[in-house]
Amino acid sequence: MTTDSAPSSAARPLVLGSTSRYRRELLARLGLPFATDAPAVNETPRAGESPRDLALRLALAKARDVASRQPEAIVIGSDQVADLAGQPLGKPGDHARAVAQLRAMRGRTVIFQTALSVVCLAAGFEQSDLAAVEVRFRWLEDDEIERYLRAEQPYDCAGSAKSEGLGIALLDAIHSDDPTALIGLPLIRTTRLLRAAGLRLP
């Protein structure tokens, strides 16, 4: 979804519409001052909705929700959905669900759909993009799954594994054109959209 590019607007505040510490840490790499604001969005998938469409819809909904309260700001919204043969896998939330997710993914390829939206109501700017990351999991024995989950407890991560940590040992391969997308925020696409919204970056 695209509108005309916004005029240069270096004075506009930047807001990350997320409570994710992973996205906050990634955005901080750009050296830009920003605030965070928690979006109030129902993340329940719609009937028949693909993981890709779900991620895009939620990223835009989050950005729009925060922008409605901060219309002068440039707002970033993002969402990630793990796509296992067309079925969405969200954050497990607890140990039992994480075990079930990793058992379902072992020996298989999962597409992590990481969507991004940037919205500025005052400028009439709205653009979205998506990074699809292909992740191939090794065949994991039950005891490997148990040891990993006890060690890292990735219950707030879609797909139940942290590739930036010990979770990398669960994988055979990662294919992506935007390296930070798997962690939760595709920074190449983020900088592209922020420049289009009028922010100056190095």
Could you give the residue numbers annotated as active site? 79
Pick from 197, 186, 202: which is nearest to 75 by CA? 197
For 19, half-sphere exposure in the C-beta direction (CA atoms, 13 angstrom radius) is 5
**Structure-block tokens of residue 15:** 């807001």
CA distance 49 to 52: 8
CA distance 64 to 77: 8
**Structure-block tokens of residue 29:** 């790499």
The region, left, alpha or beta by phi > 0 then psi within -120 to 50, assigned to residue 53 is alpha
